[in-house]
Every structure is written in structure tokens, then in C-alpha cells.
Chains A and B, each alone.
Chain A
Amino acid sequence: MSLHSPSSGSRDGIAATAVEPVTADGDDTIPFYRPIRDEVELFLAAYRARLPVLLKGPTGCGKTRFVEAMAQRLYRGDLASEGRLEVAEPLLTIACHEDLTATDLVGRYLLRGDETVWIDGPLTRSVRQGSICYLDEIVEARKDTTVLIHALTDHRRLLPVEKRSEMLTAHPDFLLVLSYNPGYQSVLKDLKTSTRQRFVAIEFDYPPADAEAEIIAHEADIDAPMAESLARLGERIRALHRSGFEDGVSTRLLIYAGQLIAGGIDPVRACETAIAQSVTDQPDVQQAIVDLVETLL
């Protein structure tokens, strides 16, 4: 958490606005990201043209990790420019939820003693300093929030700060990135056309089994055969389209299972805990997954 205002998160009434820049502690290593298709090239090209990016994909398939890796490369790593090295928070991540208001993003006056103090919201901060602002699960946010970003995402690159009667011009390095899970949200919660047509959309999906095995092996620090088995397991579970869990099992959960295994837990038990119990509450489906685990591991 690096929202330095006294109001961050802990205040009730304003539900926590999670802001987690990758490099809060100055760690300059680039997070592990294994490219699946051409998403890295696409993103970098979009960044060069400062085109806002929409990341589409199911939960736990690596969208956030991807943005983190890109931000790190652009601001700290091989592609960093002089100016971008100066940016204190290369990536501002905002997890959207249904109570997230425009105020939460832009900023607010707070009472402090006898006076009111203006505190920039994460979006404003990002616009000012020229970092990547990542709105995670944008459809969860209230409608007024999505409209707020309209002026930012076209040629104007402006952020209206209503309460201060200010039009903030975005820093040249600023980029807005949205993520969006088209799967589980209902029709009611779809993105407005006027919003989605402002973005370059990069599509994500769960990686193919061999790539996923590589990822699991790296993240969970387990041997290749076990990672391979977990990836095959993921593939099988995802083949179950019906029965309540359309998203299937995420790469994240497979990694969790791998981490439990690395921690000395019996593989079958680890998968039961990290996968079968997590993806569904239906006993039949859980049993089917346990059967799969027992067969594949």
C-alpha cells in the first residue's frame, strides 16, 4: 500500500482502494512473465503510441502479472527512459468494486484539524506523475467511474478534477490500462460500447499446457514433471464447461497447489485443498476433480 494519505483503506465508508505499485520497496527485478502469444509486442507498441489498453481474460490467467512486468520493463528495466526512471510509482493498481466512486479515483478534500486538505486520488496521482494506471475488473466499478476516464482515453488526455475546477493534462508517459473478465459478468454488467471502443483490447486466456507447466514450475518452484501434471490437470478441469464453473481452474490456483506441494503437502491433498474446494461448492464436481487429481498425479 502506498497511498500516502491518512485516509487510505482503513477508513470505513470509503471501501479500501487498493493501490499496489510493483516497486514500492525499490525492488527492480522484473516480475516473471512468460509470453504466450504476441501480447508483449502489442502492449509495447500501444505504449509507444500511448493507446489505452484493455486486457480481457478469465480470472487468474496472468493479466495483472503482465501489467506489472510491462510497467517494470518500461519504468525500471530495459526500456526505461530517463524521465520514467524518475517516476515514483510506475504502476498504480486499483481494484474496482461496486462502491468505487469517481471521488475515490480523483481525490477529495479531507478535514484535518481546522482545515480541509486536498488529497489526490490514485488516478490523479498517476496522471500527474506519468505512470501506468491499472484499473482491475473495471466493470465492477460504478458507471460514473467509467465515464470519468473517457476524456483521458482519447486525444485530449484530460482528467477533469471537478472539485478543484481543474482540468489536468496527463503527463506524456501516462497510460491507462483496464482489465475485464468477459466470462463471469452478466450481460447487465457489460462494458459500455462508448467505453470499450476507446481501448486496444489484448485478449488473454489460460496458457497452453506446456507453457502453463513452465509457469507453474517457476512460480511454485516445483520440478518439471509435477508442474506438467498440474498443467494437464488444469487442462482437464477446464474441459468441464458445464456444471457451474465456466471459468475453470485458474493458473493462479494451479500455482497455489504447486506451492502447497513444494511445502511438503501430499499432491492429492494439495490439489483437493487448492483446487477442488476452491473452484466449486458442488460435491459432485469436487469428487470429479479429486478423481482427476488421483488419476493424473
Chain B
Amino acid sequence: MGRPEAAAPYFALDTRRALELLDEYEIAVHLEAHRAALELYAEAFLGRTVTLHDAGGPPGTPLLRRGRDPRRPPAQAASSTDAHSIALPPVVARFAERGDNRRLLRATLLHQVGVHLCGTHAFRWDPGDPRFAPTRGFRHGEAAVDPASRSPSGPGFAEFYRAFALPDVARLCFALLEHRRIDAALMRRFPGYRRDLQRLVPALLPSGTTLLARLERLSLGAAAEEGDGVRTADRTDAPGVEVRRLFARVAAEGAEVHDSAAATVALWRLLEANELLQVLHREMSAAVRDAESGPRHASGPDRAGDSAESHDSVAADDSEQAIPGAVELSGARALQGELREEVAQAQADDAARRRALDALREELAARSATPPQSSSLGGVEPDRLGVLSIQDGDLSAAAGLFLHDLEFLDRASSGRSDLDLSQWDDSDLAEAAERIAADRAARREDEALGEHEELATFFYDEWDHRIRDYRLDWCRLVEKQPVEPRDDQRDDDFVRRTLRRHRTLLNQVRRQFELLKPDVQRRLRGLIDGEELDLDRLIEAAVDRRCGVPASDRVYARRDRQERSVAAAFLIDMSASTDTEVAGDDDPESMDEVMEEVASPSADPAAAGAATRYSGAIDARFADFEPRSSSGGGAPDPQLDAFWTWPPPLRQGPRKRRVIDVEKEAIVLMAEALRILGDQYAVYGFSGYGRDANDFFVAKEFDQPYDRAAEHRLAAFEPRQSTRMGPAIRHAVDKLVRTDARVKALLVLSDGYPQDCDYGPERGDRTYGIQDTMVALREAEQRGVHTFCITVDPAGHDYLRQMCPERRYLVIDDVAALPGELPKVYRGVTS
């Protein structure tokens, strides 16, 4: 791999192989590699879908590019309102053993899950509760500033913290205690968690002698055993004993979040009485500053073992030099992560959430006069506290998070399709976005072609042949369903016109499919009982008996009807090139069909069949027949009557048929024929522009009936943009695999090369797209889906041979032959 174009994505960890290798050789554990398993793990506890994102950026961001961009919506925006979203460190490399790093990652996750399990969100602050009795620093009156407007269920954390003179210190105290409570509760419930912590915590314990480090040790539950209480240099140990007692209280069985809050008040008073509040505040600020300044806080192998170093030499009360303590802050956080109690609370309040958000938004607007970071942490940007998403103490950080959330939801729910995903997907998208921006105007124009309802968004890997690896989650695919057109715009005529045009063909296909229908009968021979005798075996048995040998009694045979179990997906190329007109083919009715109409005016299928057989002869005889002058003969036929009103009402005169029309006609014909077989089938169209905008149109799903609405949706398929086949194939295969049919088939109808603006290093490069399509087709075969590509490109042979499995493709140089060929192909593929 000496080529830079291959090396770049590899070292950017954009490729699957690179990540796998990394995961294999490294002691460090990457969230990305364990995300799927851990999401399930968390879901098992919470009973709801859980999204894990790393604290450095939104999901899918390549590891080395994960900077935290405050302008970007946080990852929560990507998950739905009721889904849990949990932030985890992207890399865990604290221990020298990979297993321990994995354990730490899992324990961190379970601790975060514990915030939900242990009822942190249930906290409602009752200022009148005697346990929260006012103290000197307890600003009772101020706190109650219109509390009801903040949270629908009453005052919560924010009000509680603001009741203290130093809200961020109060928050820290509460977090330390609440972490302890959660850990203790989880350890009681889950023996494995206890084992993990016993193994991990000794190495995680901050070793500084600062007050903060001591409190963190208590929070991690270790100090009590070691007898290392909170003790400042010149004082007696009495406060230390008291503090230990508080931590023990929240760790006791049955402790709730309110006990943590009560203990917070008690701890606050204790610190206040010993004049330690300012000390703690200084230490905190120093820790935050330190975390902000140092690149050394990036988790990496070089950090392993760091935490074990002793910093005892640092004077406890010298807060200016308490930087090592700050290092330890992120150390303790490595296990417990950030206590996102407001988030938990808001998530618990789904119904009332919006009102709460509005309140936050108002507050933020009110605050906007002052710099957003100036509030409680004294100019410190909480977002950058460390490798974890620490939003310590600053309410506005949490508020901003919700605001993004809200805004995102607003945008998403209003169904605007120009939602700029490059903003929160892979930052590399920015590059593509620039390229795409130039064409965006054209795209908008194109959007106007038809209204579509977006159903869902998916991400698919893409094969890059240059690096011989997959690019992860490279393509974004949006599933869309054409919106039912208004009555006056609806092309009601399309299906009827098609059926009339291909009446001959339809009858042929129907007859062929009729033969398929009874299907393969499996003849079981050598049975001891059955519907008929198996002559060969009977004779054998008779001979045996004559010879005096014991004769076999297995002389019966039985026919077993094998039920057809087929699911087929038709994937239609809707690229701009399908707008090409089909040469020498006027729309809609050619004289041949006119002849047939005349020859078989009756609806009687038998007569129609007979007429079909002789159509050739009739064609010749009526060569100069003039339709308008004919009465048609026989009984009046409404269809025929409609036919005579020529031209059709929607059209401004005859128009050339385009490739896409032929594709659609082929599908209409198939749909008719498939009524006979009863196979499950789905009809999809695809097109797109760029890897972030693959459109996947659904005309009919497997479980949807082929009704008027489906016909209309199919009729609404129009030429659009490019042909990026890979994601469309992968998506269709995903859907096929979910059906329970024994035989699964994917039929791709296209008109040329797979190509897209960024399907390969440069626009003209076809190899990339062909290779990706080839791999996508191979994946399909591996997943038990038979594939077949039909292309109407006269020059198609070269690349189809390269792309498709042998004898799994067909090149049609005469587009008009497609409707006739498709059923043949279908029979071949599915039987």
C-alpha cells in the first residue's frame, strides 16, 4: 500500500480493516469497535434503544478527526426523542491490559445506565423539606425564582444548585455523592460490576492530597476501606469522619437521590464550617483549567499507569499548584463519567419536555447578553474539561444541548429534506459538501419534480477498491415514498396504457406463469404408503418375493406440492440518463396494438388468447386499417372506448417513450404476471447525488398490496440524478433478507454505468463504482439473494461481465424488448 490515496483513508481510520487492525493490536479499546455490542448491553438494562456516542463528537466521526466543535449539534440530535443517548470516551487506554480497558469501558457504561436505573432523575427539590434547611450560604429566597416555569414537575437540580452560594461547588458535591450512591447500588445488584470495580478502582483512585482528590477517592468508594479520610493538614480528623459518614450514608441500601441531595447540604455545611468551600472551589477551577490546557489529557497508551503515580508531595492547600489533582479529576471521571442528572431528568419527563425546553430557551436568550461561558465556572469552558464530555457546573451547557436537540427535532419534524447532514455526520463530508454545494441549485430544481415523504435514513459501507477495504458508513441513504399526487396531477392512465400496449405480451407471460404456478412437484419415492405405486420398486419387490427373498414394502410414491416461496425486489435506475428517448417508438400506441384491440375487443380471456395467436396474421391483413373509422366490432368495451378518445387527456400530443417509461412498463407487466404466482415482491427506485444523498424510492413494499396507490407511486418514478448502485443494492438486499421466502431475488434494471459525483476519486472514474457495485452484488449472493442485472446500455457488456456473477446479467440493446425480457429473467432467477 504505497499509494497516498489509499494510505490517507487508512490512517484516517476511515476503513473497516484499519479499525479492525487497530482493535486487534492495540491495548487501547475503541468505542467504535464495541459500540454495537455495548448499545445492546445498555438496551438490555434500560429496555429502550440506546445510542452511544463518544464524548468527542457525533457518531460516525472518524477517530482522528474528533474535535469538539461547539457549533455542531451534539450527538443527541441524531437519536429520537425517546431514545437514550449516552456519552462514552472514544478510546480507553488506562490499563496495560486490553481486557481491563474493555472492562473499564463497560463499567463506565453501566455506571451511566445506573443514573437511569437508580432514579437520579426522580429528584424534585422541595425547598421546604427540613433536610434542606437553609444555612448561611443557602440562599433560600433567591432560589425560588419562578421555579415552576423551569420544570413541569417542580424545581429540579438547577434550582437546587442555585440555592447555594457557589452552585458549581454544590453541584460537584452532589455529583460526588450521587456517583457513590449509584456505584453502591449497582454493586449490590450486579455482582459482576462489583468484581469489575474491585479490579479497576485501585488503579483509578486519584492519589493527590488535595481536598478534591480525597473527595473523589471517597466517591469511588475506596477511602473508607483504606481509612484515608478527608483530612486537611492542620485540622483534626473530626470533619473527615463526618464526611466519610455522609458517603457511607448514600452508599447504604435504600438510599435515594434525595438522600444524596440531603447529604450534599450536609457536606456543604461541613465544608463551610471548616472554611473549605473556597479551597474546593479553587481546586476545581485549577483542575478545569488544567484539563483545558493540556493535550496530555488526550487518552492514549502513554496515559496508562499515569494515574498510579503519586502526587502526595503536592501541598494540599496550595491550590495554584494542585494541577496533578486535576489530572486525577479526569481519572476518576474515567469510570464514573459525567453525572448528567439534568439530562436524565429531562429524559424522564418526556411528556413535559417541550415546555421545559422552552423555558430553557428563554433563559438562554435572557443570558445571551453575557458571554455564554462566563456563568458559574469563572470563564472556563466546560465542554473542554477533558476527554469525557464534561459539562460540569455550567447550566448553559446543558441548556445548549437541549436547544440543539429541540432545533433538530423541529427541523426534522417539518420534513425538510435539505437538512444539512454534513454538519453532524463525518466531518470529511464538508469536502463533499463543497462540491455538492455548487450543484445544489440544480438539485433543488430537481426536488421540485415530485413531492416525497421521507421514511427513514440508513448508512451503508462502501467498498473502495483502491484501498481494498470498506469505507465505514460512507453512504447515507434516505428512504422515500412518493406522496400520492393530487387528483389533477395523477397519471391514472399509465398502468392502463401499459397493459393495453403490451396486451399480447401480457397474455403470453400470463400463460407462461400459469404453467409455473402448480410449480415443481416433488415426487417422493420408496415410501411405505402413498397415493400411487412406484412401478420400478413394485416390480423389484415382486421379483424378490418370487425369489423367496424378503421383499421391500416401500413401493409407494407421493407427489408433494412444493409451495412457492419467492420474494423478489425490483430495483429501478432513476438516473437522469433514463430520460433518453427510445428511438423510433412513438407513444403510446403503435399500430400493432391497435390491430390487437380491434381483433380482440372482447374481455373474454380465451378469446383474447386466441386472438393473440393470430395477431401476426391480422397485423398483415389490417395493415392499412384506420382506427377512427372503425366501430371496433362486438360488444362495447369501456376500455376500448377510452382508447378511442385520442390523444389521452393528460398529454399534449404524442410523446416519445423514455427509458424510464420502458422500465416502468416492464414492472407493470411483471406486477400483473405476479398476481398469478402470488410471489412476494417489492418495487424500488434509486437515484441520488453524492454519498450523503442517496434516495431510495418505495413504490411497493413486500407487504404492501399492489393497489391504486402503489400504481400511482410507480407512475411517479421520474428521471432524477446519478446512479450510485452500491447503497441501493445493499438496502434492497437488507429488505429481502428480512423476508422469510426460501428464494430471494434482486433484479436491477439500469441503463448504464454506476456513476455519481463522488463515486470514485474523480468524476470520470468508472472503476470505483463498478467495483463497489460488484462487491455489493457479491455481498447479496453471500446473504442468499440471487441477483440479476439487466441493462439497456448497448455498450454494457464490458462492465456487466466485470460486475455481475456469471450468467446473472443481461444486456438489452433494444430498450423496447425489456418488458418481454424481464419475465423470462424472472422465471430463470426464481425457479
Contacts and interface: CB of A to CB of B under 8 A. Distances in A.
Interface string B334-366: 000000000000000000000000000000000
Given A111-B553, A112-B553, A229-B191, A288 B38 contact: yes
Contact of B190 (A111, A240, A284, A296): A296
B740 A14 contact: no
Nearest to B37: A287
Contacts of B555: 111
Contact of B528 (A13, A99, A186): A13
Contact of B527 (A13, A186, A187, A293): A13
A122 to B, nearest CB: 15
Given A108-B529, A284-B36, A287-B37, A239 B43 contact: yes
Interface stretch (B44-52, B72-80, B488-496, B811-819): B44-52
A237 B41 CA distance: 9
A108 B554 CA distance: 13
A14 B529 contact: yes
B245 interface: no
B415 interface: no
Contacts of A240: 40, 43-44
The interface centre, meaning the residue of A13, A186, A242, A297 with most chain B CB atoms within 10 A of its CB, is A13
Contact of A239 (B34, B44, B193, B196): B44
The interface centre, meaning the residue of B39, B47, B528 with most chain A CB atoms within 10 A of its CB, is B528
B47 A294 contact: no
Interface residues of A, number: 34
B36 A291 contact: no
A257 B106 CA distance: 23
Contacts of A287: 34, 37
B127 interface: no
A237 B44 CA distance: 6
B560 A186 contact: no
A285 B526 contact: no
Interface in A227-259: 229, 236-237, 239-240, 242-243
Contacts of B45: 236, 239
A284 B528 contact: no
A146 interface: no
A28 B190 CA distance: 41
Interface in B188-206: 190-193, 196
A7 B43 contact: no
B762 interface: no
Contacts of A288: 36-41, 44
Interface residues of B, number: 35
A239 B43 CA distance: 7
Nearest to B526: A13
Given A240-B40, A292-B44, A297 B192 contact: yes
Contacts of A284: 36-37, 40
Contacts of A112: 553
Given A111-B553, A288-B40, A295 B49 contact: no
Contact of A103 (B193, B529, B560): B529
Contacts of A110: 528-529, 553
A1 to B, nearest CB: 17
Contacts of B43: 239-240, 242
Contacts of A12: 526
A14 B703 contact: no
Interface string B196-235: 1000000000000000000000000000000000000000
A7 B528 contact: yes
B28 interface: no
A145 B357 CA distance: 60
Nearest to A286: B37
Interface string B21-43: 00000000000001011111101
Nearest to B739: A186
B30 to A, nearest CB: 14
A241 to B, nearest CB: 8
Contacts of B524: 13
A236 B44 contact: yes
Contacts of A186: 740
Contacts, number: 83
A156 interface: no
Interface in B554-604: 554-556, 558, 560
Contact of A188 (B44, B106, B740): B740
B529 to A, nearest CB: 4
Contact of A295 (B110, B526, B527, B528): B110
A214 B41 CA distance: 25
A44 to B, nearest CB: 35
Nearest to B47: A239
A111 B528 contact: yes
A32 interface: no
B618 to A, nearest CB: 43
Interface in A99-148: 99, 103, 108-112
A116 B47 CA distance: 61
A11 interface: yes
Contacts of B47: 239
B46 to A, nearest CB: 8
Nearest to B193: A295
Contact of B40 (A7, A109, A243): A243
Interface in B500-557: 524-530, 553-556
A109 B43 CA distance: 56
B522 to A, nearest CB: 10
Nearest to B553: A111
A161 B40 CA distance: 53
A103 B47 CA distance: 47
Interface in A1-20: 7, 11-14
Contacts of A13: 524-528, 530, 554, 556, 558
A242 B43 CA distance: 10
Nearest to B554: A13
B553 A292 contact: no
A66 B556 CA distance: 39
A243 B37 CA distance: 11
B560 A295 contact: no
A249 to B, nearest CB: 11
Interface in A269-297: 283-285, 287-288, 291-297
Contacts of B196: 294-295
B197 to A, nearest CB: 11
A190 to B, nearest CB: 12
B528 A14 contact: yes
Contacts of B193: 295
A13 B530 CA distance: 10
A14 B34 CA distance: 48
A201 to B, nearest CB: 24
B106 A295 contact: yes
A283 B38 CA distance: 12
Contacts of A292: 41, 44
B49 A242 contact: yes
A107 B637 CA distance: 55
B34 A297 contact: no
A99 B560 CA distance: 9
Nearest to B703: A187
Contacts of A285: 37, 40
A242 B41 CA distance: 12
Nearest to B102: A291
Interface in B41-89: 41, 43-47, 49
B79 to A, nearest CB: 14
Nearest to A188: B740
Given A237-B44, A291-B106, A296-B191, 5 more contacts: A13-B525, A13-B530, A239-B46, A293-B192, A296-B190
28 contacts: A12-B526, A13-B524, A13-B526, A13-B556, A14-B527, A14-B529, A99-B560, A103-B529, A109-B529, A110-B528, A110-B553, A111-B553, A188-B740, A229-B191, A239-B43, A239-B47, A242-B49, A283-B37, A284-B37, A287-B37, A288-B37, A288-B40, A288-B41, A291-B106, A292-B41, A294-B192, A295-B106, A295-B196
Name the 4 nearest CB pairs between A and B, nearest first. Answer: A288-B40, A287-B37, A13-B527, A111-B553
